[in-house]
Structure 1
Amino acid sequence: MAKAKQTLYNILKGKFLVDESASKNWYMLVFLAGLALVMIASSHAIDKKVQDIAILNKEMRERRDVFIATRSDLMKLKMESAIIKKLEEQGLFIPDNPPHKIVVKEK
């Protein structure tokens, strides 16, 4: 128990960083610090991509709404009653008599 207690005190005091085999420990610490930096950078990149996806989804929903509204307006304009109304504003009317087909016979 005393040996484990002494080892814990040595770790907390940092003696493993200044003894004879400290170079191995420093290499490991530098490696772990590098991994931590890579992990932090990766986390930030993922957060940015998630935010970009949220913005693009919102923009897509807005554009879909505009598309649906425009398609609805177009369908209303293509209705026969809307076309007749527009033509009457310009002075054109639908004839009461339907048109007759002209047939040309060749001799």
Structure 2
Amino acid sequence: MDNEFVKKPEPEVVKEKPRKATKKKATAERGKTSRALTQILNGDFLTKEFVLNNLNFIFFLIFLLLLIVGKGYYGKQLSKDVETTQKELDEVMAEYVEAKAKLEEDTRRQVLVEKLESRGLKETVNPTKVIRIKEKKQR
């Protein structure tokens, strides 16, 4: 077995294109976009075969756009409902606090004593006694 040096083929060198060709390509693309824009503004693109073949997809896109708009309106309506419900809740809480304060004022000890005097009930002078029963521990 001989170890011989095998010469590998050299990779091909890619030559750069002259810049003039790229400028022509850029101007051609601008011409295409301007033609496409004029076709859209004129409505000529609607008669093309591409649009006619993809009508189902176009209708699907229109449906999705309508859903997006509807979702926006639904979100606004929900936020409006939340605001009105929060206002109602605040009003009810204010009424609750007011009623609770009135109840506490009406059920004070002194007020109850005055109201019950007309019925012959008097406040006790003797303090209340607590009766405690000691339970025996069972063993």
Q: Per the shorter chain, which TM-score range?
A: 0.7 to 0.9
Is residue 23 from structure 1 mapped to residue 52 from structure 2 by the alignment? Answer: yes
Is residue 87 from structure 1 mapped to residue 120 from structure 2 by the alignment? Answer: no
1:3/1:77 CA distance change after superposition, 3 Å: closer
Percent of counterpart pairs with the same letter? 25
1:61 pairs with one of 90, 94, 97: 90
Please identify, of 19-28 and 77-86, the stretch whose mean Cα deviation from structure 2 is larger: 19-28
Task: Using the TM superposition, give the Cα deviation of residue 36 of structure 1 relative to its aligned residue in structure 2, in angstroms.
Answer: 1.7
Deviations 1:8-38 (A, max 9, x none): 2122212221122222453443222111210
**Who is 1:48 aligned against?**
77
Whether the 8 Å contact between 1:77 and 1:83 is mirrored in structure 2 is yes
1:11/1:98 CA distance change after superposition, 3 Å: closer
Counterpart CA distance in 1 for 2:121 and 2:115 is 9
Task: Using the TM superposition, give the Cα deviation of residue 62 of structure 1 relative to its aligned residue in structure 2, in angstroms.
Answer: 0.7
Is residue 5 from structure 1 mapped to residue 9 from structure 2 by the alignment? Answer: no
Which protein is bigger by CA-based radius of gyration? 2
Task: Using the TM superposition, give the Cα deviation of residue 79 of structure 1 relative to its aligned residue in structure 2, in angstroms.
Answer: 1.0
Amino acid at match of 2:94: D
Amino acid at match of 2:37: L
- The structure with the greater share of residues assigned to helix is 1
TM score, norm. by length of structure 2: 0.59
Q: Which structure 1 residue ranges, 5 or more long, are not aligned? A: 102-107
Task: Using the TM superposition, give the Cα deviation of residue 67 of structure 1 relative to its aligned residue in structure 2, in angstroms.
Answer: 0.7
1:2/1:92 CA distance change after superposition, 3 Å: closer
Is residue 72 from structure 1 mapped to residue 101 from structure 2 by the alignment? Answer: yes
**Who is 2:68 aligned against?**
39
TM score, norm. by length of structure 1: 0.73
Q: Which structure 2 residue ranges, 5 or more long, are not aligned? A: 1-29, 130-139
